[in-house]
Amino acid sequence: METLNSLIEYGNPRLLSRNLRSLVFDFMETELKIGMPGYFEELIPQLYYLFNFLDAAADGEITKPQHNDNLELLNEENSPAFLQEDEILKGITSFIVQTIRPERIYRILHQPLQEGAELTTDLLIVIPEWLPPKQFTTAETLIEAGCMLGTNLHFSLHHANQVKTAITEGSVFYNLVCNPFNLLYWSNKNDWPEINKEKLNMARQNAWLQFQQGFAKAVAFLKHAQQQQQHNADLLTAFFLQQATELCCRAILTSITGLDKKTHAITSLKKCCRRCTTVVDEVFPMVTGEDKRLLQLLDDAYLSSRYSNNYTITETDLDSLTKKVTQLHHAAYTAVQHLLDLSG
């Protein structure tokens, strides 16, 4: 990032972008006629980012950096002590701080379902409100690359004003996450709203009622699936299992975050649920080919089981999916109870 900033400080980004594109296109017209070299495939994503960076700088969306040779962006005064002892997490945090200058970063540790399994880390990154949309997208790409250094590490970007307003209004999700215990980095520790415990307790109770309402629908569909499976109605069983999974995911997402995802795809819903709990990821992992095949069968069941003559599913697969959905329901109910902790 420092090298790129030097480009826009000492050079003409529009001229650099035009000349670099000409150079690449000239190369493609000649050398690529005999086949693309292996190394060039690796360069394409980096060139794509470089072009976008130079174009944004030329349009004035990226400004020249303010120089301060003595500025240390990540130190003991703006990060907790434990971060200094975790080299991988410190490296990733430092990368994020230097890349987009966030206002805050929170670390959420998700406890796994199975004892001894590795913890999953989620970084909630609070970015300045002035960050333009193009830079927001670029930041996501950059951070995703940086987070690949860590195992079981995910992240999400949130605008500062949105987070502060949500905390003030008693949002369950932001109040649970944005607390001093989870704070990984801060640019200004004092400029942050206090948690309103009365509003939070009321929001927790409302969230629990909302979860129970949504979860009850998921439970009903699971019972329908089990009944249909006894009558060898394979396609209906698959559809009901998909609905039992989708509605469970929605119950988690809407009760904790207050948001809903307009999709029927379990693959998309489980990614959204990851911010709250990893139970969906753990029950439906995407590690092996068999994991992916079963999840695809479940996703396809929403439409294909009813409208396509090509959709088929075996009794063995239905048994596997029924066990998974049942496991998800037990785990989700316990996880949401733990998250809301209405005794506090």
pLDDT band with cut points at 50, 70 and 90 for residue 280? very high
Give residue-wise pLDDT tens across range 267-277.
Answer: 999 988 988 99
- The residue-averaged pLDDT of 102-116 equals 83
Domains of the chain: 2-58 (no CATH), 81-186 (3.30.300), 197-340 (1.20.120.330)
Cβ atoms of 126 and 102 within 8 Å: the answer is yes
Residue 31: its pLDDT value, please? 55
Give residue-wise pLDDT tens across range 137-194.
Answer: 666 665 665 555 555 678 888 889 889 999 998 899 999 899 889 999 998 777 788 8
pLDDT band with cut points at 50, 70 and 90 for residue 100? confident
pTM: 0.73
- Lowest mean pLDDT: which of 17-26, 48-57, 67-76, 284-293? 67-76
Mean model confidence pLDDT for the chain: 80
Cα 97-103-108 angle, rounded to 5 deg: 80
**What whole-number percentage of the chain has pLDDT above 70?**
71
